[in-house]
Structure 1
Amino acid sequence: MKKFLSTLLVFLFLFNVTSVYAARDITITLNGKEIQTDVKPYIKDDRTLVPIRFISEALNYDVEWDEATRKVTIKNDSKKIELTIDKKDVVIDDDIVVTNDVAPEITDSRTFVPVRFIAENFGVEVDWDPENYVVILKKEELDNYAQSMKDLSGEFQKELAQLRQYYFQDASKYSVNELLEKFEEIKSNVNGIINRIESMGTNEKYEKSYEFLKESVDIGRLMMTKYNDALLSADQGAAKELIDLQTKLAIKISEFKSALDSESKGLRYIENKDIKSFNDADKKDGLLQDQTIQNLLEQLQ
């Protein structure tokens, strides 16, 4: 009887400890700082799953959700990952398919994804503290110069995107005078951003990145001179030139992002083969092969 009671007590003790251990909350730190999530992460098949909002807000990646296909797309300037709910196959950069050991899933109407797989594929170092139930993430941060370039590039693109919105999608909502007024406002903002970029000066570590950023703002400055002729004066030649400039700007921004990503890691920038084809064709006669255009557009989406 005593042996039975002893065994029962041991079992109850172990059951209680196991239950508590399994119910422990998981903490996530990024570069030494604890990150709060709106819903709790949990462990499944020895992998930590986190709410998708954590990926977009804490790690600062773009996240898209396709309800029809139940697909989650996560991307930044240099990488894209596509996951499908309840499926372990993952598509990386549109052409590489790998099989993860745990699938993303929907729990309590929230989408959860495996944090280690995603973080490591984006170059984030991941570690696990089993004693304290802590996921430790270490993400390389840009220095002040590189971060300034990235921020100014983002501001520059945002202003030009707003200009396109007014002149294309929303043009019918405004009078000519209203469009001209908005144009002058955005032009002033763009010129201010350009002045800040030009005042930065070059940096030996980021020589290529800065070169591409300067070329981007030169294209943007030229675009500003074409908008009114192209869209308000209905000048077909100016309209065609504006479209060409928009294409060149998108590609130049892509070059800037790739160069910044490489140089921030101490690597040499290597020109993308399709971008090289575009640049070579543009130097010759401004004509592009259809396949080159298609490849570039797919990459810039």
Structure 2
Amino acid sequence: MKKVIVFVFFFVLMFQSWAIADAANPISVNAVNVNGKFIATDVSPIIKDGRVLVPIRTLASLGVTYQWDSKSQSALNTKGKDQIKLTANKKEAFKNNQAVQVDVPVQTQGRILVPIRFVSENFGYKANYEKVRSILFIQDGNYRVDQESLQAEDLQAARQAAISLPIQFSFKSLSSLERPGANKDYGYVFPRGDASRYMYSNNVGHTVVEIKNGVAKAVWQFTEGNGLADIVSSAGQKPSYNYVEWVTDIMMFNDENGNIKAVYKDEKGQQKDLTAKAKSYIDIIQPIPNETRK
């Protein structure tokens, strides 16, 4: 019981701090998801003038090849018969040799970063930045949700598929949860034996999400005072089930050393934890020993 109390107290402390937007704490992109798969990037994407720029190597995941001319500081991106030429610090680009305007030019910060919405949409892709988790989703016209993965008996695979879906809202999201820097620390909480719902928590508050028919839908958001049951502000509809119990079931988060950590109850009800190294965002979802799907 003491371990459970300490864990809950840690959880509350972890997510009570408020993030403030300033030069040292800019808006960021926590992860890039292409056609339902999180991909690793050697340099973190950035947001400049409200536009997301990603390392040019990320485009390989879209089937785009590129050539960088260091002399002219230009990147030639090719997919099929289409070509887009972008030049550093210039808002004029060329698509198939026709001049077009781009909102923000290529940036060179040790790596080449290109405006992903402009590039992806000109190649027939859709790019969407999900503010609640600071995730960039990119999908092509043929993308379909992998329903089999969502229903997999393997809970790790099912949960990984669940968090790979962009969260959709039927209500106005709490703006405080989308503040710059709010997702510097984050975690996922699941009910035991379940991959059909989770609670995502960042520095500011929490979002309860339910997965139905291949759609991740936010049902409720809230911020708390002295604990998860002390609600300060909320949006959406509070669910009837006891979301507080999820905290002592299974929680997965980044620890202070940059590792992925999972805290859970074993089959005897004892509090356990495990730590793993993460290669990409998806690795935050770890397998829980002896856990079976409901």
TM-score bucket of the superposed structures, by smaller chain: 0.3 to 0.5
* TM-score, structure 2 normalization: 0.40
Higher-Rg structure is: 1
The structure with higher relative contact order (CA 8 Å, sep 6+) is 2
* TM-score, structure 1 normalization: 0.39
Q: Quick check: which one's strand share is greater? A: 2
